[in-house]
Structure 1
Amino acid sequence: MPTKSALAQQLGVVAGFDDPQASLEQYRTPPDLAAHLVHTADLQGDIQGRTVVDLGCGTGMLALAAALRGPETVVGVDVDPAPLSTARRNEGKVGTRTSVSWVRADATRAPLCPPAETTVVMNPPFGAQSGNEHADRGFLATAAAVADVSYSVHNAGSREFVESFAADNGGEVTHAFEAEFTLPRQFDFHDAESREITVEVYRIDWDR
């Protein structure tokens, strides 16, 4: 198995959003974080030979990270067509052996019916924008419906919410870890060139 650092290096060529939308909280997932999440999933046997679905895939960072680790198939889902076009170009730059199907759809109502052994990976919107609180709830609901295991990135302090949601929907949090996420200055309301925030990643087993 390639190292986590080697995976992060391969993902360094993945381009971010050309015209990010604040309402969708579109930020490029850092390669180091994507590599950490997918490497952890691979060590748990949740990537190789399985179907991997990236909900809210954006420009494809998590989907492509998974595709580099030998899954059966990968599907990236996003409601915005612009980053999906970038994701297709990123796929060519990364050069994965596993092809990725890029699907334009609302991840909270995704038209998916994958096989039993399906892993969801996702960096959903945190609900940081006014009126968009708990935006990650709909993404977790989709994961509960289509996957038997999921890995998701959430804002710091989300443990009680994630554990409660999982328990109410036949799931159980089995692993959790913290990571750093660099937010670049890309919207008018940002007052610094970049900012480091702490995020939390959760692995959930779903009873499906």
Structure 2
Amino acid sequence: MKKITRKKHLEMRLQNIPSHPKPKVNLEQYTTPSIIASDLIWNAFSFGDIDSKNVFDLGCGTGIFTIASALMGANFAVGVDIDDDSINLAREVSDKLNVDNLRFIQSDIADFDPGCNVNTIFQNPPFGSQRKVERGQDLKFIEKAIELKPDVLYSFHMASTEEFLLGYYGDNNLEVTHIFRYNFPIPKIYDFHSKENQDIEVIVLRARL
């Protein structure tokens, strides 16, 4: 597999990952745009959080962060998602892209046991942008990440919850080192959506345990 040396090349590879064909509203399934995923992965690589590391992607969806981590030299990358449709598509895509050193597991994150040392976690949980989604799902992901004890965590959240989250992270001995800010596009994919596209302000907190 040819080594990727430019962020733009990574973004171009990630553009081949399709959107979820049957998104489920209760899981708040939205595809992370390749421009956002490539930017975050490129920064994580620059911090030394991917190359030769054991990387886990919780709530991986169709696998964009798992595949990107493998492309950027992870020792191995594991994507975990409760939705079997997402996992099946992620496996198909990784095979087509000829990406190895990764695997996908269908599991509720609450029941997931990696069985090895965890260096880096990426997670893009349901962050509560929709009224029909159960609130607090992102906190459950943080609790699982604390249990797994990675060296570093990257976690997506609504930007409007930043002040609360910084307090929550601090109370749980998570040292926030960086905050990445993105406008996350939400397309019209559910019946209750009234706009063709809407940008949601999100943050990604990089934290050390």
Category of TM-score, reference length = shorter chain? over 0.9
Maintained 8 Å contact 2:69/2:77: yes
In structure 2, what residue type is equivalent to 1:141?
A: E
Q: Deviations over 1:32-58 (max 9, x none)?
A: 111111111101000011100000001
* Percent pairwise identity: 35
SS in structure 1 of the partner of residue 9 of structure 2:
helix
* Pair 1:112 & 2:105 matched: no
Name the CA distance, whole Å, in 2 between partners of 1:8 and 1:193. Answer: 24
TM-score using structure 2 length: 0.92
Structure 2 match to 1:180: 183
1:126 positional shift: 0.5
Structure 2 match to 1:141: 143
Q: Which of residues 195, 198, 201 in structure 1 aligns to 2:198?
A: 195
In structure 2, what residue type is equivalent to 1:142?
A: K
Deviates more, 1:74-83 or 1:144-153: 144-153
Structure 2 match to 1:93: 96
Structure 2 match to 1:15: 18
1:89 positional shift: 1.1
Structure 1 match to 2:131: 129
Name the CA distance, whole Å, in 2 between partners of 1:139 and 1:105. Answer: 13
Name the CA distance, whole Å, in 1 between partners of 2:164 and 2:39. Answer: 23
Name the CA distance, whole Å, in 1 between partners of 2:24 and 2:145. Answer: 23
Q: Deviations over 1:107-135 (max 9, x none)?
A: 233222331x5100111110233461121
Structure 2 match to 1:47: 50
Name the CA distance, whole Å, in 1 between partners of 2:43 and 2:161. Answer: 20
Question: Structure 2: where are the runs of 5+ without partners?
Answer: none
TM-score using structure 1 length: 0.92
Name the CA distance, whole Å, in 1 between partners of 2:110 and 2:177. Answer: 23
Structure 2 match to 1:79: 82
Maintained 8 Å contact 1:25/1:125: yes
Name the CA distance, whole Å, in 2 between partners of 1:94 and 1:204. Answer: 31
Question: Structure 1: where are the runs of 5+ without partners?
Answer: none
Name the CA distance, whole Å, in 2 between partners of 1:183 and 1:108. Answer: 27
Name the CA distance, whole Å, in 2 between partners of 1:36 and 1:183. Answer: 18
How well do the aligned residues superpose, as a CA RMSD in angstroms? 1.5
Maintained 8 Å contact 2:174/2:208: yes
Name the CA distance, whole Å, in 2 between partners of 1:94 and 1:36. Answer: 20
Structure 2 match to 1:27: 30
